[in-house]
Structure formats: structure tokens, C-alpha cells
Structure 1
Amino acid sequence: MGVRHHSPACAGLVRRTIRELRPAYVLVEGPADMNDRIGELLLGHELPIAVFGHYRGTERVATSWTPLCAYSPEWVALTEGRTAGAEVRFIDLPAWHRAFTDRPDGAANRYADAETRYSRATERLRARYRVDTVDALWDRLFEIADPDGLRDRLDAYFALVRGDTEADDGDRAREQYMASWVRAAVAHAGSRPVLVVTGGFHQPALRALTAAPGTSPGAEPAAWPPVPVPPDGAAGGSFLVPYSFRQMDAFAGYQSGMPSPGYYQHLWDEGPDAAAKTLHRTVVERLRARRLPASTAALISAHTLTEGLAALRGHPRPARVDVLDGLAAALITDDLDQPLPWNTDGPLRPGAHPAVVETVVACTGDRTGRLHPDTPLPPLVHHVTAEEIRLGLDGDRTLDLDLTNPRGLERSRFLHQLRVLGIPGHTRLTGPDHGADPRDRETWEPCPRTGRDAALTEAGAYGARPDEAATALLARRLRDTGTAADAGTTAALLFDAVLCGAGTLSRDLLDGLAHRIRTTADPGPLGRALAVVLGLWRHDRVFGTARDPLFGTVLDHAVDRIFHLVEGLHGGPPGVDVSRLRALTAVRDALLHAAPALTLTTPETAAATAARIARDRHAPADLRGAALGLCRALGALAEPAGEAEAFAVAADPAVLGDWLAGLLALAREEILRPAPKGEQSLLATLDGVVTTMTDDVFLHALPALRQAFAFFPPRERERVAQLLLDRRNLHGSARTLLRTTADPLLLARAAALEEHTGLLLDRHALGAPR
């Protein structure tokens, strides 16, 4: 029997078929390595749940989920088969097998239907039945159709779509393996029937593969196929994890083939008519709870429109799209910026109408599964629980950790290991950051632990201890990035490894980072890497990496590479390249704080290079300003790039904001210092340039100026305001210049009125010169 995963219609057909046939064997598409633990699967869990499969070897790491809910045909086959006295077996390859993992998507979900691969057939059917999506087509043909003849229609549908598609190597390997189970079961069953429940895509192939001689009832019993085991040196297996409707929803990105699991649960429990009414009521309740318009008249209108749409479309009873379109028509009176999500393929996109969002959430449902207390768990779960108790981290309180204290550092590393593994429980608020000044304290606050059991089980694929698992996961991320990773990405992994205490991995990451520094052609990622390594080189008391020679070598090469990339840089898009400015900021910090580690680029050679860039008229404006700022920060402003030339560049309104952004990014403190006696400060010069601008020129330069002054924190902005007051011999609070009590919209209307009045006076030759 071919089925669509998570289809109530198929689940109902499986249930009826088992009760009528009373088969000897019920074979289900699922991981064969779970056959010895089917009793564990049927302990009495609260659905939905999933079988989590994992594999970890020297060359690859793979994970996969096999989700099951109450209306999954596979789940019904397991439970009804056991009730009917049948032998129940999974017959597919384990999730870690290369038939899954060698695919481009890694087969993270076993039950991701192959509909994208047989789109030609479904496109013809959608055109024939005038529906927008495969889901709407499926509902029309099967979910709301008369159950009589359902199996014949399913067979015709799957024969059509499979006949239009060529299976890949992974599909063929799986089908050969499943067929061997079918042949063995038929031989063992004697004269009794065997029911095979598999994804519809595989059904035609399995029928062909099992139609060969030797599969007839009464044949010599064949040996049951062996279950593949991981090769030597690799670890693999399966565990049960709680799952949720949100994880199963196609609108959230799940590739199950069936969206709206909450709606289909009602369809399974109550039927189409009751499911439509329940969805109407749930959507209105959600909208009212959020104080969004949802009147009783709108609810009545939604009911009427749903019934009318079902009749107009020839549906014997309301389909999901009838209900959703009826709700949208009744509740939404605005123009929509994007198509309704149930009329397109893909997840819900940002910016959707609030009524659409609440409708989708109501269709998803909030059900979350729960495992039976007797369910076996991986060793990591027990180890994390014991470590939390030992380290005093099992409570719900904010943690203030002293990283200079051995116990505080141990607790920090444990929390970072859980963070890297994605296990909820605590969120870090403050602590050492990439390239920041050394901080020896961390603050963590408790956060909701929703999904913690599932996250712990899934993290158990990487190791039995949190330090081992975190190291393995970071190593996997490094391998996954491959040679395409930039220096910034590698540096972020390095910082996480140091925070987790993964010393050996840190050395491997440093080696990889040194290579990527030599090959990276973008200053931005290099700047991120430099900031990270500089912070680690300086964090003496915390991580023990201060003055480490290997870190120093990486610093040296990163500074030299950034200068190599920015000197002679011409052209490019207009505007400010913030990542490039951050890279030069990291260079400045390295020159000021790590000069002993730098041999390729000393502060003296850096100042000379920056001076050349500052006077290069063909260099981008923000880079020229940053180069001048670097000279000032190093205290070595070269004469060729002196004040006069800097002022000349700043006087051009077209580049003033960009140039100033570069300058302020690297030399805020130097800019605010008083000028030597008898000289004019740069701030005074800039004030003169801005005040002489016409309105049009000023408005043209204003966005870039605002971006430039955003580099000043509030306290320093107040200092700028005070300097401007002093320059005008005015008394008052500088803070009042940073904010206004007037309504900004009122000020905008006043400015527009002034402009309109001026134009009107000019038209009649009554205006004064402006």
C-alpha cells in the first residue's frame, strides 16, 4: 500500500485494511535498526514523537528524524498491526546510511516526500483540477473525497508520479533493501497476507521488485535481511525524541508534504465538517486574544464563504483551502503585499498580515509530544543532569560567574558547551566577547526549557559527555564549512572552542585560520578574525591564551594581509563599507595592544601606509578617513596627509559623510581633543563646512552624516554638542540638543509648509533671496 506521509485519509485506509486482512506481517517504511525496540516505541507516549537517528565517523556526521503523529499511516500501521496480532517490522535502511546522507539535503527528514522530484506529473494534475498547490490537489483527490475506491485512486496517482520520475541511487538502494524484507516476509507468512506500508513514491518499484519468482506463498522461507551496522571506528544508533506540530508544519519549513498538522489532527479526530468549524473558532479566539478585529459577523461570514467556496469548487465537503480562503475573505479587508501562504509552496514569509499569521498558527496547533518515563535515553542526558547538580546549575536563578575562579571557569565552560549544543536552559547576558577588552565575569540568566529533552537526545549523537559532544559538533561545523569558509567564520568557531575549553580543537582551528587569512580577499572577514584572535591573545587570566606564540603569528599575518588588501584599493560602490572600517579598527587595536607580536607590520610602517592611503584621491572616501584616523590614533600624523589636505577632502559635500564615518570609526577620542594653541580643531572646521551648506546640499549629505556620527556613543555626542555651544558662546544644556520635545511629524509638516510657502512666493516674484 502506497501512502502519503502524515495523511489522515491514508491512515484511515491502513486501519481499515489491517482490520479486514488480519495480516501475518505488517512491514513499515522506517529504520530497521529500531526493530528490536518497537516495544519501546509503543510504550504509551504522547504524540507527536520522532525516531532520531545519528551517525558519527571520521569522515562524516549525519542526523535524521522520522516523525510520527496520531494520523501518520506508519504509526497506525504499527499500532493496529500489533493489536491485530501481526508481526510488525521496519524495513528501510538506518537513517545514517549513505543512501540518505549522500543526498544534497542530507535527508534530515526521512518522511520528506519526493514531490519536488515528480513535479511534472503534479503540475499537469494541478492544471486539470485548477488548484494552486500539491496540498490542495491532494485534499481534493483524497482527504475530502468519498473513501470508496480510495486505494485504487492512490495506486493510480502514485503510478503516474513515479512513472514520470527517475529514482536516484539512494532511492534504488533503499528499494532493493525494502524488497528483500518483503520477499522474506511473504515466504515466512505462508498463506497469510503481508501488508507493506510505504511512501507512495516507492510503491510501484517495490511491486516490481517483489513480483519475481520465489516470492509466492509457501516458498522456502528466506533469511531476514541483515541490519547494517556502523563501520569500525564509527558510532550510530537511534533514540526517541519528543516532537511538536510546529516542527512538522510545512509553513515552518518542514518537508513533510503535509502542512497544518493541527488542522489535520482535527480532520482525523472529527472529520472535515467539524474540523472546519473548529478552525474557524480557534482563529477568531486567537485574533480576539490579541485585540485584533474578529466580530461575530465575521465568523458567520467565514462559515458562509467556506461553504460557498466548497460548493463552487465542486468539493463534497469543505477542504482545508476552502476554510482558509473563507477566513481570509471574511477577516482581511486590506490589500495584501504577498500571496496567501496556503496558495503557494513554501514557509510563511515575514511581513504577512496579522490575520494570516494567526490563521497559520491556528492550523499548526500547539501540541508537543512527551515520552513515556520508561523510555531509554542517551548517556549525555544523564551526564548533563548530574553535572548541573554538581555545579549548582540546576536552579532558576541568574548566575554571576567569576572566570578567574577555577569553579567559576568550570561552570562557564559547561554552560558554553550546552549553548554550542543548542540545549536551552540559560542565556548569556554579559561576558568576554570577540575582540573586546578583557572581562573576567559572566552573567547568565535562566530561559524557558521548552524542547530541552529533545535537544539533549539529539546532542547525544555527538558524544556521551557535554565537552566531548561540543568538541565533536564544532569539529563538524569546521568540516561542513570546508574551504569555502572565510576567516571570520573560522574565528567564530575558534572563540566558541576556547569558551568551551576545547584545547586540541582550538589548535586545529588556529591552523585552519592561518591558512584562510592568507587566501581571504575581503577585509571584512579578516577584521572579524583579527578581533577574535586579538581578544584571545589579550585575555590572560581567563583563558590562558595570552601571549600565546601561535595566536601571535595569526595576529601578525592578519594585520599584514589587511594592509595588503586596502592599500591601492580604488573604486567600488559609493557609501560606507562598515565591515572594512571594523577591519581597520581591529588593526588599530592590534597595533596599540599587541605590537610585540607584530613583525611584518610595525606601528611605524603602518602609520606610513595609512598616510599614503589618506592622501590617495582615488581611494574610497571612507577608507581615506579611516586611514587618517589610524594615523591620529597612532600619534604619527604624517605631514603629506596633514590638516590642510584633510580639510580639503572634508569640504566636498558629496563625500563628507563617508569620509567622516571612516575618521570617527578609528579616532573618536582624538577628534574630541582640544586643538593646539593657535590652530583650529577638526571639529570646528567641520562645523564651518556644514553651516555654509545650502539646504539641498545639506539634505543630500545628511544620511551619510548621521551614519558617521552614529559611531559616537551618547555621552560623546553630548560632548560634541557642548563643544558646538562653546564655539558659539552660548550657554545651556548640551543634552537638550540631542533630543526634542516636539512631535517629529509636526516638525516635518512645518518644514513642508515653509518649503511650499517659499515656492509660492517665488512663483509670484514676492520671495526674498534664499
Structure 2
Amino acid sequence: MAVTFIGVRHHSPACARLVARTIDELQPAYVLIEGPADLNPRLDELLLGHELPVAVFTSYRDEERRHASWAPLCDYSPEWVALTRGRAVDAQVRFIDLPAWHPAFAGVGNRYADAELRYAEVLERLCREFGVDNVDVLWDHLVEIAPADDLAERLVTYFDLVRGETAADEGDSAREAYMAQWVAAAAQAGGDEPVVVVTGGFHRPALVAALARAGSGGDEPQDPGPSAGSSSPPWPDIPALPTHAHGGSYLVPYSFRRLDAFDGYQSGMPSPAYYQALWEYGPHGAARHLSEAVTTRLRERKQTVSTADLIAARTTAEALAMVRGHTHPARTDVLDGLASALVNEALDVPLPWTSRSPLGSGNHPVVVEMIAALSGSRVGRLHPDTPAPALVHDLEAELERENLAGSANHELDLTREHDARRSRLLHRVRLLGIPGFHRERGPSTGLDPQLHEHWQVRVHPDRLAAAIEAGAYGATLTDAAAAALTERAVTAGSDVDKLARVLFDAALAGLSTVLDDALQEVDRAVGRVPELAPLGQLLAVVLTMWRHDRVFGTAHTTALSTVIAAAVRRILWLVEGVHGGPQPADRGRIGALVACRDALRHAGTTLKLDREDALRIVGRVAANSAVPPDLRGASFGFEWSFAAVGDPERVVRGAFQPATAGDWLAGLFALAREEVLHTEAVLTLLDERITGMDAHEFLVALPALRQAFEFFPPRERAQLAERLLARRGHHGDARALLRGVNDPERVAVGMALDQRVDARLRREGLIVQEVRP
């Protein structure tokens, strides 16, 4: 069996060169590549003539599991080189790994992630032994800029050492067992003809061992049945997508930015523009290209980079390369040289290339631009004949039909059917996360009366890739947006804030089916909500949609009615369980009672809500001294708003306490503002009690009082001010009282001065101490 195994690091130019050289030298009959086997019937699609980078995007969705993953390919990916060179020498080329939707890939967002990094503690020891910061620097030192003469042996030693005796997890074990079947089948069919196997270096030792066992009879390969792509050799069966699942694989344009480890890419190779240059020009050319790219980018951003700076950077890089034992400056040699020459200030955080993680905050602006220059701006492009999911075509047709495909700003009036239809389309696109569609203004919660929207639509370079990826949700824009929104409703669980957002998004997008499904989730979640504030917000949104939403077609629907009734019951149950004595007014829980009151007022009869039971509950809360004052005030206001209070002046007189007055009044004003405003006796009583506070009591109560009176809109505050002036025999512009003094410190100083003057006058017998009844 003439099988040559090449263990590679994904996206490694040095490994790609080794793959190319090996295939050219051996002229193999079979080239087997770590990649999704279900793509074998479509290999010609990969070779249409795309501009790399591109990626194979795979999606999977059933009732229990959601999965999406990418297998990116660029010019210097060993897998891409194996595919193209294998075809060039007329070898039979096959991907031999499990499909990306398979459970073995659970939790793996990128097929070409560096598997060894998930297992090998030995990498940390190697980094310490060679005196480098991280595995990327170690890899460059050992592989990318090292002599290529003994690269194959070095890679074998490296990956054997990294793998060691490490046992693969369940997912990797399943993948390696499946790939071993392909290797055994090719080896058996090839006889003495060469077979080249290109896989991640972590998997190589396991595949070598499996073939050795098969050759000695230890693991005799089973006849897997007829081939998916050819009758000979008998390739293993390719797992089929379960009948109950939705998904598939498509090519998508990719970008260097998405490929970059500094941008969070899981595979880890950073600075793709640098490695592209390393692939094209070699180590010396890549170092020069790196310096030029950084210089160009900084100068484009009006940063001064002198010739002296460049000379200093190059000199430092070459000196560092010599000290570090590099024949040519490595990536970090050049970066360290540039940082030394261009950054003159102290750095708040370590240089980002000293670790392998996404670029964080606190980095020097010059360093950020350096990283961006190394990342590169290249974006792949698919050949026009590349198959695309049905959603891509439906999206293009829908946008063209509504004249929304190009870059433009759109002002939409939601009361006009044509504009409402365009709005629903744009919201469906937004729900799928397709870039280039941004709503700058419009209704956002269901509570605002906004009936106009302003959209900014731009042709974004990632629109096609995002549309292909969104195709996992459905074949049409409507179906895909509905599936995406339903998924949000399911994953929201008992988070009613998220569920309320789902409800309103469904209304904005005109997805009535999703609205019904989401409301089932809301109905289940309502009974588990432990807090009043989010439940009140949800009820306010749903009630508004039930009462007024003729624009979106949700008014008086049965599903919304069910949620309203459940929310009212839950709020009343939670309110009666709140205790804790004096606490600052909580607008969220006050708002829950407001929403409950509004539901009883506007939907109580239609939905047969029990108003009398609600009034009994809030009556008990209002009279319970163990309840926080804001809820007591709100409960009293609840009763009063339904005219269920015989003598409100008596209640106010008994409940008003200077220490908690502001918090109690906040609840009262939120629920019974109009009743207070139109009951002169209560206003007179409040005026007497507030003006009767001494200086200390007033200063303590003032912040809460200010918040309480904010429940009155400006016009009603002006009416209150006019009545205060009239009670004191004054006439004039009441708005001057509302403007008042903006600086609270000046008010406090003035009141303290008044207090000292009063004390002096009393001491001298010039005024008589008032005695309160």
C-alpha cells in the first residue's frame, strides 16, 4: 500500500507547498482530503473559477438541534491546493470527512479549526522551550520561515509530539473512523499506485495507525456498498441528511477579515494578508510586503511614517530575526520592528500578536492599523454559474419588485399600503441579518405612535454571503424570516423582554403565523416570570397591539387576548407578594400596574377580565404597611381610577408620610394623575402637607417628589402651578415657576440661609414659633 499521509495546519502556506510538491512528484491515483464527503458529487462546482477566499457553508435545523459551520478555502489552504493539483495530475480526488451537519461537529463553527489546540498541553511546553509567546509564533519559527528541505519529517515529528497519547473526543473519533474507511478503500483499490491523504495534523497519527491495523488484518475494512461518486473503488456511504431535518451546503464568498484570528475566526491563523504574501512571494517578499502594507495604510490615515522610521523598523526586524535564529524576518519580527519604530508612547496592553485571541480594547491606534493591514481587505467572489439556495433568487426578485435592490434612502408612510408592503419586506430582510439594510427611524416597541419609517439601504459586499447563509431558514424570504423569528421565540425561553421584541418584530414583518407560534411561547413564559417590570412592559406592548394595531393587522386577535389575560393574572399575583418596607420608587413595577389597569379598562369587558377581583387585590395592597410605598400609592391610584374610593382625601391624609411621600405619590400619580388633578381637596391637602415639612424633611423628600411630579406632562404641571399661585393670591405666568432654579445646590444653600434667619429671629423674639396641630 503506497499511502502518503500529509498532516497539515489549515491555511498554512508551507503545508500547501508541501502538498503541491508531493502530488507533483508522486502523480498519485487518489488524493483524499479532509473535507465534507457530501460535496464529492459537486467538486466541479468548487472549480468553476471563483476568486478566493470562498467557503463551504453548511446548515442544519431540526426540532432539537441548530447548527451552522464554514469550511473556508483560500489560495494557500492545503486542502485547496490538494484539490486543484490532484485534478491537474488526473488523480481521483475525494473529500473524506463526515458532512458538516453531522453530530460529530457539534460546537464546531469552522471545520478547519486547529484540532490540536483543543487537546495539547504540550504546545504550552513547546512555546516555553523555544521562548515564544504563542503557537502562531512557534509555527512560524518551526515551519513557515524554516528551510523546506526536511519539512515533511518536521511536520510528522511536530504532530506526533502534539498528539502524543491524547485520546480524541467522541466527535473526532467518529470523524477519524470514517476517514479511515476512505483511506483503506483507496489503498485497497490503488494497489501499488500512490495515494496521498491530506488531513489536519492532529488526525494524521490516528489514520496512520488505522491503516496499519487494516493492513495487518487487525481492522479489516468493511465493504461499504456502492460508491456515491464512482463504482470503483467502493467508497464508504455518505451519510444522508435526516428526512425530518432541513439544511444543506452551499459555497459562499468569504473574506480575509472573517478568516483572521484577530477578528475571532476559530481556526486561528492570523494575518491572512501576510500569509497570502508568504504564499506568493516567500518569506523575504512577505516581510517587505508587510512593511509596505502597514506604511501605506498608516499614510492613508494621515499618520506620519518617515523614511527614517522605515529604516529603523527594518533594522530592528532584521536584528530580531538574527537573535531569534530566523533566516528571514518572520511576521512577528517585522511587527515588533514596526511597533518599536512607530509607537513612541507607553502601551496600556500587551501587543496583540503576543497572544492568540480577538483584538481587544486598549490597543494603540497605530497597532490597530497594523493588525488591519495584515488582515487585508480581500473579499472572495463566486463564479456566476455557482448554484445558490432558492432564498437568494427570491430575495433578489422581491427587492427588484419593490425597487429596493440599489443604494438609496427610503421614507415610508405605514398608513399607505404600498409603503407598508415595502416596510414588511425590509423588516424580513433585517430579521435575517442581511447587511446593508438599516432602519434609522420608526416604531420600536408597539407603544410609540410612530407611523413613519426611514430606511437606509446600501449594496453591501457581504449581502450575497449573508443571503446564502440565511437560506438555511427557508426557500422564500417570508418562510426564512418566519423560521428565524420562530427560532428566536424558542430560544428566548422565559425572557419576556425578548419575547415582546419577537412579537413586535413579527408584526412589523407581517408574519402572522409566527405571531401565533410566538404567542404560545409567551403564554407559557408569562406564568414563570418572577418580576413585575418585564411583565408590565410585555403587557403594555401586547395591549397596544391588541387595541390599535390596524396598521400591522393584530388588533383584537384571539392570540393576543390570551396573553393579555394571562399577564393580568400574573401581575396581580406578583403585586400582592411584594413586601419589604420603604424602598425607592420603581418605575418598572409601577408600570406593571399601569398596564394591568389599562388592560382592565380597555379590554376587561371584551376579554371578560375580573375587575372586581383585581380591585380587591389592590385594595389589600394599598392598605398593607409592609408593602413598599410606591406600590401602595399605585394600588390606591388603581382603585381611584376605577372610582372605587369613597373619600380619597381621607386616604391621602392617612397615607402621607414626609419620609416616603415622594415614592408614594409616584405610584399615585402614575395610576390616578387625572383624578388628582381634578380633585381640589386632594391638591389642597398635598399643598398643605408639603409646605408644612421642615427644611430637613423637605430636602430628604425633594428628589423623590421631583420624580413623582414628572408623571404630570408639562401642560398639567403648568395647571398645578397656576392653582398654587391662585391659592396664595398671586396671578401671573405660572410657567416661570416650572423653570425654577436649575442648580439644586443653590436651592439647598438658599433654604439653609432661610433656616438660619428664622432661628435668629426666634432667638431674638421677633417671630413666634408656629405650633402644628
Measured against the shorter chain, the TM-score band is: 0.7 to 0.9
Counterpart contact for 1:440–1:541, Cα < 8 Å: no
Distance 1:644 1:38, change over 3 A: same
How far is 1:134 from its partner? 2.1
Pick closer, same or farther for the CA change 1:260–1:714 going to 2, 3 Å: farther
Amino acid at match of 2:260: D
91, 98, 109: which one pairs with 2:96? Answer: 91
1:560 and 2:561 equivalent? no
Q: Which amino acid aligns with 2:143?
A: F
Equivalent pair of 2:35/2:97 in contact (CA under 8 Å) = yes
Larger radius of gyration: 2
Contact 2:533–2:592 (CA under 8 A) maintained in structure 1: yes
Question: Which residue is 2:29 aligned to?
Answer: 24
User: Secondary structure in 2 aligned to 1:642?
Assistant: helix
How far off its partner does 1:268 sit? 2.1
Cα distance in 2 between the residues matched to 1:148 and 1:688: 95
Q: Report the residue type matching 2:53 in the other structure.
A: P
Corresponding residue for 1:109? 110
1:751-762 map, 5 Å: none
Q: Which residues in structure 2 correspond to 1:120-131 (within 5 Å)? A: 120-131=121-132
CA distance in 2, matches of 1:9, 1:41: 23
What is the DSSP-based 3-state SS (H/G/I as helix, E as strand, rest coil) of the residue aligned with 2:659?
helix
1:561-710 matched pairs, under 5 angstroms = 561-571=570-580, 579-580=588-589, 582-597=591-606, 599=608, 602=611, 606=614, 609-610=617-618, 613=621, 618-620=626-628, 642=652, 645-646=655-656, 648-650=658-660, 666=670, 673=677, 676=680, 679-680=683-684
Q: Deviations over 1:400-420 (max 9, x none)?
A: 445455544433332222121
After superposition, the Cα gap between the structure-2 partners of 1:311 and 1:515, relative to the gap in structure 1 and judged at 3 Å, is: same
Q: Is residue 205 of structure 1 aligned with residue 215 of structure 2? A: no
Whether the aligned pair in 2 keeps the contact of 1:186 and 1:215 (CA below 8 Å) is no
Q: CA offsets per residue over residues 192-220 of structure 1, 9 Å max, x none?
A: 2111111111111111112234599xx99
TM-superposed CA distance for 1:48, in Å, is: 0.8
- Say whether 1:476 aligns with 2:522: no
Is it true that 1:455 corresponds to 2:466 in the alignment? yes
Aligned partner letter, 2:565: D
Q: How does 1:395-414 map to 2 (within 5 A)?
A: 395-414=406-425
| Change in 2 beyond 3 A, CA 1:408/1:7 | same
Equivalent AA in structure 1 for residue 508 of structure 2: L
Which residue in the other structure is 1:247 paired with?
Answer: 258
1:39 maps to what in 2? 44
The corresponding residue for 2:192 is 191
Rounded to whole Å, the distance in 2 between the matches of 1:224 and 1:416 is 46
Given that residues 489 and 525 in structure 1 are in contact (C-alpha distance below 8 angstroms), is that contact kept between their aligned partners in structure 2? no
Name the amino acid aligned to 2:241: P
Pair 130,692 (structure 1): closer, same or farther in 2 beyond 3 Å: same
Retained in 2: the 8 A contact 1:671–1:682?
no
Structure 1 residues 432-478: Cα deviation after superposition (integer angstroms, max 9, x where no partner): 43331555544433134231111111122222211122222233334
Establish whether residue 538 from structure 1 lines up as the match of residue 544 from structure 2: no
1:759 match: none
Once the two structures are superposed, what CA deviation does each residue of 1:703-725 show, in whole Å capped at 9, x if it has no partner?
Answer: x8998899899999999999999
TM-score (norm 2): 0.82
Paired residue for 1:145? Answer: 146
Report Cα offsets for 1:655-700 as digits up to 9, x if no partner: x6x7787677x369659958737945869977997986899x79xx
Q: Which amino acid aligns with 1:89?
A: R
Q: 1:179 to 1:647 in 2, by over 3 A?
A: same
AA of the residue aligned to 2:575: V
Residues of 2 paired with 1:334 and 1:684: CA distance? 64
Between the two proteins, the alignment pairs up a number of residues equal to 727
Amino acid at match of 1:370: R
1:556 and 1:39 mapped to 2: Cα distance?
59
Q: Give the residue type in structure 1 aligned to 2:32.
A: L
Counterpart residue identity of residue 46, structure 1? E
Say if 1:269 and 1:58 are closer, same or farther in 2 by CA, change over 3 A.
same
CA contact (8 A) 1:24 1:192 kept: yes
Tell me whether 1:133 sits opposite 2:119 in the alignment. no
**What is the CA–CA distance in structure 1 between the aligned matches of 2:304 and 2:720, rounded to whole Å?**
48
Greater displacement, 372-381 / 66-75: 372-381
2:456 aligned to which of 445, 456, 471: 445
Letter in 2 for 1:44: G
1:267-278 alignment to 2 at 5 Å?
267-278=278-289
Q: Find the aligned partners of 1:678 and 1:705 in 2 and give their Cα distance.
A: 16
Q: Structure 1 residues 639 and 721, CA, compared in 2 at 3 Å: closer, same or farther?
A: closer
How much does 1:152 deviate? Answer: 1.6
Distance in structure 1 (CA, Å) of the matches to 2:643 and 2:309: 71
Contact 1:571 1:619 in 2 (8 A): yes
> What secondary structure is seen at the aligned counterpart in 1 of 2:197?
strand
Instruction: Indicate whether 1:529 and 2:534 are aligned.
Output: no
1:726-741 equivalences in 2 (<5 Å): none
- From 2, 8, 11, give the equivalent of 2:7: 2
Matches for 1:13-412 after TM superposition, within 5 Å: 13-100=18-105, 103=106, 105=107, 107-213=108-214, 222-291=233-302, 297-412=308-423
- Among all aligned residue pairs of Structure 1 and Structure 2, give the percentage whose two residues are the same amino acid: 52
Q: Say yes or no: does 1:549 pair with 2:554.
A: no
**Structure 1 position 554, deviation (Å):** 1.1
Q: TM-score under structure 1 normalisation?
A: 0.82
**In structure 1, how many angstroms separate the alpha carbons of the residues matched to 2:329 and 2:630?**
61
| Alpha-carbon distance between aligned partners in 2 of 1:261 and 1:715, rounded to the nearest angstrom | 62
Q: Aligned equivalents of 2:723 and 2:131: distance in 1?
A: 70
CA gap of 1:213–1:171, structure 2 versus 1, over 3 A, is closer
Q: Aligned in 2, Cα 1:312/1:628: closer, same or farther, shift over 3 Å? A: farther
- Give the CA deviation at 1:258: 1.0
Q: Distance in 2 between matches of 1:542 and 1:26?
A: 60
Take 1:283 and 1:735, find their aligned partners in 2: how far apart are those partners?
A: 61
Pair 400,150 (structure 1): closer, same or farther in 2 beyond 3 Å: same
Mapped contact 1:28–1:91 kept (Cα < 8 A): yes
Partner of 1:493: 502
CA separation in 2, counterparts of 1:706 and 1:130?
64
Native 8 Å contact 2:54 2:382 kept in 1: yes
Distance 2:595 2:109 in 1: 39
Aligned Cα root-mean-square deviation (Å): 4.2
- Aligned partner of residue 66 in structure 1, secondary structure: strand
Q: Any idea what the Cα deviations from partners look like across 1:27-73, whole Å, max 9, x if unmatched? A: 11111121122222111111110011223445444322111111111
Indicate if the aligned counterparts of 2:578 and 2:627 stay in contact, CA closer than 8 A.
Answer: yes
Counterparts in 2 of 1:4 and 1:635: CA distance versus 1, 3 Å: farther
Deviation, structure 1 residue 271: 3.0
Work out the CA distance in 2 between the residues paired with 1:430 and 1:296: 49
How big is the shift at 1:255? 0.2
1:426 corresponds to which letter in structure 2? F
- The amino acid that maps onto 2:472 is A
In structure 2, do the counterparts of structure 1 residues 564 and 198 end up closer, same or farther at CA, with 3 Å as the change threshold? Answer: same
Residue pair 1:120, 1:164 contacting (<8 A) in 2 also: no
CA 1:693–1:291: 2 relative to 1, 3 Å: farther
Q: CA deviation at 1:4?
A: 0.9
**In structure 2, what residue type is equivalent to 1:92?**
D
Given that 2:440 and 2:453 are in contact with CA atoms closer than 8 Å, whether structure 1 keeps it comes out as: yes
Equivalent-residue separation in structure 1 for 2:706 and 2:339 (angstroms): 42
